[in-house]
Copies of this chain bind each other. A is one copy, B any other.
Amino acid sequence: RFGLADEEDQIGAVTGLAWTETGGDLLTIEAVQMPGRGMMKVTGNLRDVMKESIQAASSLVRSRAVMLGIKPSQFNTTDIHVHVPDGATPKDGPSAGIAMTTAIVSLLTGNPVRRDVAMTGEVSLRGRVLPIGGLKEKLLAALRGGIKTVLIPEENEKDLAEIPDNVKEGLRIVPVTDINEVFARALTRPLTPIEWSDEDEAALQASLSGKPADPDAAESLRH
């Protein structure tokens, strides 16, 4: 079952693409949430650069939560765990960034990820999709694994010249420049911003600073 696409759309599970000395492979990113205090756990024998790419994915989502349809207060009462099986294989690099981001957004919005989409691309804090290496090996692995659509960084579009025709014919390859394009392609439903009033924001800030959401007290902080 390793190296094959999932059999159904899943919440919080995204198919990334890995590149090793012996070729490309599918990489499953799994994210689950549980009641907690805003901790982020990452496991799967991840090296520092991949760990940092999960931190960037998390901050990207937290910093634009309202636009993505996620209540900011959710981060105070939820722990998130991102795991990349299998547990024994060391993994590194930033190129799973857009897959990490998509897994977190899918998890927190309850919006399933299309099971036949795979993706590769570094993501910046502003949501820009940055180029990656090993495109050829990754596309071969996607084809082998039954993937139908692969999202790649637009800056890698020039590398498609070296990709065999049968691969390009067997896959729908979509170049993207921004994480919102990734969400649009990979999630089964569009993302809708939530309403988040000034009162909501004041209540959240009061909760974060350990002070009661007392309108008078809030008042006295401002004049």
Point out residues on A near B: beta carbons under 8 Å: 1-2, 10, 12-13, 28, 30-37, 41, 43-45, 48-49, 52-53, 55-56, 59-60, 62-63, 65, 72-73, 75-77, 79, 81, 83, 85-88, 93-94, 97, 122, 124-126, 128, 130-131, 155, 177, 197, 199-201, 203-205, 207-211, 213, 217, 220-223
Main secondary structure of the interface of A (DSSP, over half): mixed
With contacts A1-B155, A35-B208 taken as known, whether A203 is within 8 angstroms of B217 at the C-beta atoms is yes
Check B125 against A81 for contact (C-beta < 8 Å).
yes
Residues of B within 8 A of A199 (CB): 220, 223
Check A10 against B126 for contact (C-beta < 8 Å).
yes
Check A32 against B55 for contact (C-beta < 8 Å).
no
Task: Provide 21 A-B residue pairs closer than 8 Å at the C-beta atoms, listed in order of the A residue.
Answer: A34-B62, A35-B72, A35-B75, A35-B201, A35-B204, A35-B205, A43-B52, A43-B55, A43-B56, A44-B52, A45-B52, A49-B87, A59-B79, A76-B208, A76-B209, A77-B204, A86-B122, A87-B94, A88-B94, A88-B122, A207-B211
Check B41 against A59 for contact (C-beta < 8 Å).
yes
Check B52 against A32 for contact (C-beta < 8 Å).
no
In the bound complex, CA of A129 to CA of B35 (Å): 24
Residues of B within 8 A of A197 (CB): 223
Check A209 against B207 for contact (C-beta < 8 Å).
yes
Residue in B closest to A10 when the chains form the complex, CB atoms: B126
- Chain B proximity of A95: nearest CB distance (Å): 8
Check B48 against A45 for contact (C-beta < 8 Å).
yes
- Chain B proximity of A13: nearest CB distance (Å): 6
- Chain B proximity of A150: nearest CB distance (Å): 20
Check B203 against A85 for contact (C-beta < 8 Å).
no
In the bound complex, CA of A53 to CA of B86 (Å): 10
- Chain B proximity of A113: nearest CB distance (Å): 12
Q: Which residue of B10, B56, B60, B77 is within 8 Å of A87 (Cβ)?
A: B56
In the bound complex, CA of A126 to CA of B31 (Å): 8
